[in-house]
Every structure is written in C-alpha cells, then in structure tokens.
C-alpha cells in the first residue's frame, strides 16, 4: 500500500489545470462543430484526410497515419472505413511488406480536403492565433512540446 501523500495542486496550479482542460475540450468541440457544419466531417476525419494529402503520393501506412493523427489503429480503421464509403480514401496491402496496409487519398478525397481547408484554417486562426501575440504563440508551442514530451505514447499509437 502506498503511504505517500499525493502532491495536491495548489490554488494557482488548480486554476491553470482547469483553464487548460476547458481549452482542450472547448477547442475540440468548436473545431468539430465548424467542420460538421461546413463540410459534414468530424475533426478527426479531416485530420486523416489532411494528413494523407501531405505526402506527394498521398499514401501512408495505416500505422504511421495513426501516429500522426494521434489515434489508435482501431479508431483509425473505423474512420477510414467511413471515408472509404464516401470514396475519399482507399486501402490496399503494402506491396513492400504485406503485413502493412496503405491508406491512399483518392482524387475525390483530395477535392474534399481542398474544399474544406480554407474554412478550417480560418476557424483555427480565429480561435487560436488571432487572440494571441506572436510571443504567446511561441510560448504555447513550447508548452505543448513540453507536455507532449511528458506523455508516453500508448502501444496503440506506435507503428507496427
């Protein structure tokens, strides 16, 4: 049995924690709402499409895509199945190693990203960048980097 007293948050730390958790939840909800309203897709679905749009060949191993979108392979598989039904993504075995599956952004998927990106980036600017100075933006990035480094990745998000 652990007899050590927990390191409780002091009043200032508690307020910081509550502000951070509210921001994470509110930002996620706002981005989902904008994308659902304007493009009829969730933020995670958009992340998948946008991430696949970045490589020149618009193709990526599912395991790598899971890491880059911060999703488990299981969650990603379900989302990609929905995106396949829309004709935006297709999956195929990796010809270099059949143990892997490739996700490929289709031309229709590319068109969806191109149509959706302007409204999404405007909402990101409005919610995150416009309220902050450049110095605050750099500080936010540094804070995000430090917190993300402290978070151990789960096995579900590691490449195969």
pTM for the full predicted model: 0.86
* Fold of the domain spanning 30-157: Arc Repressor Mutant, subunit A (1.10.10)
The pLDDT assigned to 78 comes to 96
pLDDT band at 16 (very low <50, low <70, confident <90, very high): very high
The pLDDT assigned to 98 comes to 86
What is the percent of the chain with per-residue pLDDT over 90, rounded to a whole number?
89
DSSP the chain: ---SPP----HHHHHHHHHHHHHHHHHHHHHHHHHHHHHS--HHHHHHHHHHHSSTT-EEEHHHHHHHTT--HHHHHHHHHHHHHTTSEEEEE-TT-TTSEEEEE-HHHHHHHHHHHHHHHHHHIIIIITTS-HHHHHHHHHHHHHHHHHSPPPGGGS--
Domain range list for the chain: 30-157
The pLDDT assigned to 1 comes to 64
Per-residue pLDDT of 43-99, as tens digits, reads: 999 999 999 999 999 999 999 999 999 999 999 999 999 999 999 999 999 999 989
pLDDT band at 156 (very low <50, low <70, confident <90, very high): very low
Mean predicted confidence (pLDDT) in 25-47: 97
């Amino acid at each position: 049995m652990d007899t050590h007293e927990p390191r409780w948050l002091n009043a200032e730390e508690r307020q910081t924690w509550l502000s951070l958790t509210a921001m994470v939840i509110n930002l996620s909800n706002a981005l989902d709402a904008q994308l659902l309203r304007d493009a009829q897709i969730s933020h995670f679905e958009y992340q998948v499409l946008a991430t696949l749009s970045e490589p020149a060949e618009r193709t990526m191993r599912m395991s790598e895509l899971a890491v880059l979108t911060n999703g488990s392979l299981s969650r990603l598989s379900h989302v990609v199945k929905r995106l396949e039904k829309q004709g935006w993504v297709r999956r195929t075995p990796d010809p270099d190693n059949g143990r892997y599956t490739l996700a490929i952004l289709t031309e229709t998927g590319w068109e969806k990203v191109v149509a959706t990106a302007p409204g999404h980036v405007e909402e990101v600017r409005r919610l995150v960048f416009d309220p902050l100075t450049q110095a605050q933006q750099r500080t936010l990035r540094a804070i995000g980097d430090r917190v993300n480094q402290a978070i151990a990745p789960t096995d579900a998000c590691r490449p195969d």
